[in-house]
């Protein structure tokens, strides 16, 4: 009986991890499931993209003015392996003023920055961007055909917002 009790917490943890691997996580919508192991798990944030060495560069932010550089940072994880495939393609879809702009993301990891295991895209808020919240999503597709989609939480305080 003691051996069973020691095994039970591990079994419960394994069950929870298995359920998370096939379920969308907070702020994430579903994606395509393939024989290779479920939907991609996406996660990310918004930050200032002011340039290396400049104050506030890469500091988290959700409020931007027209002309400001919005930085999208995301990662996509294969739930079967718990790792990312650098060949995965991510795209930010920004909706404003009745149009959608698709921004392909770039893999930020390099020999110079080996610890930045994520993708980035920069968007300069255009002069015609309306004040208020801007909707966006991020989609991903890896070389094995797994897909994933991420949407920010529906909390007005944390959505991408254009201010004066």
Q: pLDDT tens digit string along 108-124? A: 998 988 889 999 999 99
Residue 61: phi and psi, rounded to 5, are: -165, 150
What is the pLDDT at residue 52?
86
* Locus of tokens 């993708």: 119
Q: Nearest to residue 123, comparing CAs of 83, 151, 82, 95?
A: 95
Q: Nearest to residue 163, comparing CAs of 65, 54, 41, 52?
A: 65
Q: How far is CA 99 from CA 94, 96, 134, in A?
A: 8, 6, 11
For the chain, the structural domain boundaries read: 2-163
What is the pLDDT at residue 12?
42
Q: How many residues does the chain have?
A: 164
Higher pLDDT, 31 or 77: 77
Confidence of residue 24 (pLDDT cuts 50, 70, 90): very low
Q: Which fold has domain 2-163?
A: Immunoglobulin-like (2.60.40)
Higher pLDDT, 84 or 26: 84
The per-residue pLDDT of the chain, averaged, comes to 83
**Strands (DSSP E) along the chain, which ranges?**
28-29, 41-48, 63-65, 69-77, 89-96, 99-104, 106-107, 119-124, 132-133, 135-141, 147-150, 161-163
Average pLDDT over residues 33-58: 85
Least confident of 12-16, 105-109, 154-158: 12-16
Average pLDDT over residues 43-53: 93
- Residue 39's Cβ-count burial label (10 Å; 0-12, 13-18, 19+) is buried
Edge-to-edge, what's the strand order for the sheet holding 119-124? Answer: 41-48, 69-77, 119-124, 106-107
Q: How far is CA 152 from CA 7, 10, 20, 27, in A?
A: 37, 32, 18, 5
Q: Nearest to residue 142, comparing CAs of 20, 72, 37, 25?
A: 37
What is the pLDDT at residue 157?
87
* Locus of tokens 């917490």: 9
What is the pLDDT at residue 38?
83
- Say if residue 28's pLDDT is above 90: no
- Say if residue 8's pLDDT is above 70: no
CA 128 to chain centroid, in Å, comes to: 26
Confidence of residue 11 (pLDDT cuts 50, 70, 90): very low
């Amino acid at each position: 009986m003691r051996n069973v009790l020691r095994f039970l917490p591990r079994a419960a943890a394994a069950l929870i991890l298995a359920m998370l691997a096939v379920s969308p996580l907070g702020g994430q919508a579903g994606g395509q499931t393939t024989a290779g192991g479920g939907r991609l798990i996406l996660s990310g944030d918004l930050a200032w993209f002011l340039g290396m060495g400049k104050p506030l560069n890469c500091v988290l932010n959700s409020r931007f003015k027209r002309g400001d550089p919005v930085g999208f940072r995301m990662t996509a994880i294969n739930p079967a392996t718990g790792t990312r495939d650098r060949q995965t393609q991510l795209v930010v879809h920004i909706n404003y003023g009745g149009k959608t702009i698709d921004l392909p993301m770039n893999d930020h990891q390099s020999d110079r920055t080996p610890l930045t295991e994520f993708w980035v895209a920069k968007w300069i808020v255009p002069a015609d961007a309306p004040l208020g919240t801007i909707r966006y999503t991020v989609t991903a597709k890896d070389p094995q055909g797994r897909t994933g989609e991420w949407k920010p939480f529906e909390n007005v305080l944390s959505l991408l917002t254009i201010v004066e």
